[in-house]
Structure 1
Amino acid sequence: MRWKKISDAVVRRLPLYLRVLEEAYHSGDVKLMSSQELGERAGVSPALVRKDLAWFGEFGKQGVGYEVRYLREELRKILNLDREIRVAVIGVGSLGHALVRYNQQRYREDQHFNLHVVALFDADPAKIHTRLDGLMIHPIDTLAEVTRREGLQMAIVTVPASAAQQVVDRCVEAGIRAILNFAPAKLTVPEGVHLANADVSLELQRLAYYLGE
């Protein structure tokens, strides 16, 4: 089941709530959590917590709160995190290496972590057909073929800005509908494909402003 007309702002907050619930669930010391406590831990108001969750159903009881285990499971379903999502990393430079190693370690150590990097791509002939953490690095020209074979659903793009749009276009053509872009470039995707940008340089420059206080 997919919900229509849910704003991206709401969807962006759901993983924050899930993180709080995951921590509470694994600690084992919190069975019930009020919207007040959930909001405080997630950094939002309790009213916003209630409003966000109400889009997807009734999960809590007035005066009692939310059952941590149940709400955690429901949010995992809403976010499609109750099943494995197969991910490609395109661009196996320093950042790509770090992301792959982090993902592989997290996937091995956390049985509930279902975002799994299963395919790597690069344009550098020196890297193609070598392995990183047990995964073969494929030539970028085989993206469509490998996507079909491996059932890839999501891509992480860590290529230079000059190549980013071309790579994203290839992802779209291959049928990948969710893309996380680390390249410092303004990219476009067609309707039905979701693109998120993570620009480390911009965030560092933003933080630098506060060093003058």
Structure 2
Amino acid sequence: MTRRSTLGARNRGIPEATVARLPVYLRALHTLAERGVVTVSSEELAAAAGVNSAKLRKDLSHLGSYGTRGVGYEVQYLVYQISRELGLTQDWSVAIVGLGNLGRALAGYGGFASRGFRMSALLDADPAIVGDRINGLTVEHIDKLEQVITDCGISIAVLAVPASAAQAVCDRVVASGVTSILNFAPVVLTVPDGVDVRKVDLSIELQILAFHEQRKAGGPGGVEQEYLEAVDGS
């Protein structure tokens, strides 16, 4: 299988920031298509995606899509263009390693298949979980990791393992030829050049939201004042 993913975008000079926004545009376009919208203006699509229209037009110009003056963009064709650029017109085989609560939730989600991602393998180290059936797949023991990756032609590995095990599992996944990893473990993984890792840390996202909530509520009276209040109350 040819690995396009964002590689084609890099080779053609599409900025990483643009690549990161393409899935947001695609999600907005799918929503519009479900509503029966045939064409959409840059302003309407930008509003749906939460960006300004000038940035959206510049991003889409990297794909060679400029829309039609007075008409806008054809929704279905733009869905195809973005899907092709992201590599979603192919069938990507995915393995989830770690079937705790988060891993089970991911394995049970049915929306991946419609986006070009096929759940092909589930692995865990817990004998109590191995053998379970989740969404039509049997959980294999992690001792079979290398064999499963080869047999299933895994393109992307999703790590939902404890932080203490993440690097070792990552090393095995990479050694087996997988070069795209989605990491949910709260740890920074070290990988060789040519391996792409996307990190999802829910605790960090919550902390960022807490920061904004604090600012909306008026914010603290400065670090020094907060420290003094804490000392006085101790």
TM-score between both structures, scaled by the size of structure 2: 0.82
The one of 65, 70, 85 equivalent to 2:77 is: 70
Q: Structure 1 residue 21 and structure 2 residue 23: aligned?
A: no
> Equivalent residues in 2 for 1:117-156 (5 A)?
117-156=119-158
CA contact (8 A) 1:60 1:66 kept: yes
The answer to whether the 8 Å contact 1:165/1:187 transfers is yes
1:195 maps to 2:197? yes
Give deviations 1:57-78, integer Å, cap 9, x for gaps: 1341233211111111111111
Deviation of 1:23 (Å): 0.9
For the aligned residues, what is the CA RMSD?
Answer: 1.7
* Aligned pairs, number: 207
Compared with structure 1, are the counterparts of its residues 138 and 113 closer, same or farther at alpha carbon in structure 2 (3 Å cutoff)?
A: same
**Aligned pair partner of 2:52 in 45, 50, 55:** 45
Distance in 2 of aligned mates of 1:193 and 1:54: 28
TM-score normalised by structure 1 residue count? 0.90
> How far has the Cα of 1:211 moved from its partner?
4.1
Runs of 5+ unmatched residues, structure 1: none
CA distance in 2, matches of 1:112, 1:17: 16
Aligned partner of 1:81: which letter? L
What is the letter of the counterpart of residue 56 of structure 1? L
Residues 1:182 and 2:184 are matched in the alignment: yes
Q: Distance in 1 between matches of 2:48 and 2:135?
A: 35
Match of 1:106 among 101, 108, 111: 111
Write out the 4+ residue segments of structure 1 that deviate beyond 4 Å after TM superposition.
none
> Does the C-alpha gap of structure 1 residues 37 and 83 become closer, same or farther in structure 2, counting only changes over 3 Å?
same
- The residue identity in structure 1 corresponding to 2:48 is R
Find the partner of 1:205 among 165, 185, 207. Answer: 207
Q: Does 1:11 align with 2:19?
A: yes
Q: Decide which structure has the larger Cα Rg and report it.
A: 2
| Percent sequence identity over aligned pairs | 44
Cα distance per residue 1:11-44 (max 9 Å; x no partner): 110011111111111211x211111111111011
The answer to whether the Cα contact below 8 Å between 1:59 and 1:71 also exists between their aligned partners in 2 is: no
Checking the alignment, whether the CA contact within 8 Å between 2:63 and 2:81 is kept in structure 1 is no
Would the aligned equivalents of 2:57 and 2:66 in 1 still touch at CA under 8 Å?
Answer: no
Does the residue aligned with 2:190 lie in a helix, a strand or coil? coil
Amino acid at match of 2:99: V
Q: Which amino acid aligns with 1:61?
A: T
Partner of 1:159: 161
